Amino acid sequence: MRCVIARFPFDLIKSEVEQSMSGITPEPVTGVSVTIDRRVYPVMQVGEVITRQNRRDFTVVEMRRALTRLGFTCHDAPPAAPARDARADEGALGW
């Protein structure tokens, strides 16, 4: 499939993306992610590997669109954890 990422054309094939990511350890997911071979990768990590470009050169939207068109499942960013109330721990310390 031909797609444009960071103003550069790429011919991406699903099996080649899977092969490129096979030996890569997934980074912790903090934003949009994609499932490749039962592993969940941040979309930007996948983009960096398959395009060999710096992550600042392309957007999450470009990568998500390309990966979705290839048939991968993309996931929205996980919800933010609620802020911990520091006052709740004061009683536990007996102060």
Q: What is the pLDDT of residues 66-83, one digit of tens each?
A: 999 999 999 998 776 676
Q: How far apart are CA 28 and CA 5, in angstroms?
A: 23
Position 86 confidence tier, pLDDT thresholds 50, 70, 90? low
Do 44 and 63 touch, CB atoms closer than 8 A?
Answer: yes
Task: Measure the N-to-C terminal CA separation of the chain; round to a whole number of Å.
Answer: 63
Angle, CA of 76, 52 and 4, to the nearest 5°: 65
- Is the pLDDT confidence value at 21 over 90? yes
pTM comes to 0.78
From CA 65, how far away is CA 59, in angstroms rounded?
A: 10
Q: How many Cα neighbours within 13 Å face the side chain of 41?
A: 27
